[in-house]
Structure 1
């Protein structure tokens, strides 16, 4: 699992991201700014602790977590959430993250790691965005 996941990824394709951002409550200008960048995600591991750094021209965020344990996260939109990342029992190269903000708009993010790309599917209130990142 580790070899497939650890590494650096750059956004290459996005679908329905504006609708997703609108559904979580991001304003028009911030949505347009978010869509104007090509973020990179770097994932590393130290023992049981994983670290995911997302960086773009606008901002950088970092979360560290142990699979299956709750952790506090400040999303890039400024909302504080309780998150949990789990690995799919049948496919350890698939992570599912749940983000629970106080407003009830729970977000589910599924990350599917492959040899050459990372597919990210984000859903809130029935609105789904797809993003593909290429391994660099």
Structure 2
């Protein structure tokens, strides 16, 4: 009986949420950034740490999960790999590349995937939301972030297997 309840729950979540379109799925490697140094500086990241962060190669891979309505986002870097298995609109605990613990929620609305982070140790003050869109030719994943009035964009080129 419990198994039937779980199946019904996942089916309801899948039906209620707009699914992420196929154009978002794939492996994307960082290509370039706009205003990223200013964005990091506005967050209080020091000069030397900013230089290291800007040089880091990051790859994002978004795939469908193992059951309907589930997804996986992997952030791959030389320092650390982070994997998020999620349902749209369902908060979960996760760790960022800098090892900070967050409550994370993904949504999809109006052609945009959002990834919202609220710190476990300070949820009211230090929240971040990443907005992902696709380029018109579906060859780039574009991530937009804003903090303290400073907006930056990071462009990730689609990698072919």
Task: Give the TM bin, normalised by the shorter chain.
Answer: 0.7 to 0.9
TM-superposed CA distance for 1:133, in Å, is: 0.7
Aligned match for 1:126, one of 149, 154, 159: 149
TM-superposed CA distance for 1:15, in Å, is: 1.4
Q: Which has the larger radius of gyration?
A: 2
TM-superposed CA distance for 1:87, in Å, is: 0.5
4+ residue runs of structure 1 moved beyond 3 angstroms? Answer: 22-29
- Match for residue 45 of structure 2? 26
Indicate the RMSD between aligned Cα atoms, in angstroms.
1.8
Distance, in Å, in 2 between the alignment partners of 1:20 and 1:133 is 17
The verdict on how the C-alpha distance between 1:28 and 1:73 changes in structure 2, with shifts beyond 3 A counting, is farther
Aligned match for 1:72, one of 82, 93, 100: 93
Paired positions, count: 133
* TM-score of the two chains, using structure 2 as the length reference: 0.74
- Larger helix percent: 2
**In the TM superposition, what whole-angstrom CA distance separates every residue of 1:78-127 from its partner, at most 9, and x where no partner exists?**
22111211101x32xx1122211216122121000242110100112222
Structure 1 gap ranges (5+): none
Structure 2 gap ranges (5+): 1-19
The verdict on how the C-alpha distance between 1:24 and 1:62 changes in structure 2, with shifts beyond 3 A counting, is farther
- Larger strand percent: 1
- Match for residue 73 of structure 2? 52
Does the 8 A contact of 1:7 with 1:44 survive in 2?
Answer: yes
The verdict on how the C-alpha distance between 1:128 and 1:49 changes in structure 2, with shifts beyond 3 A counting, is same
Aligned match for 2:58, one of 5, 24, 39: 39
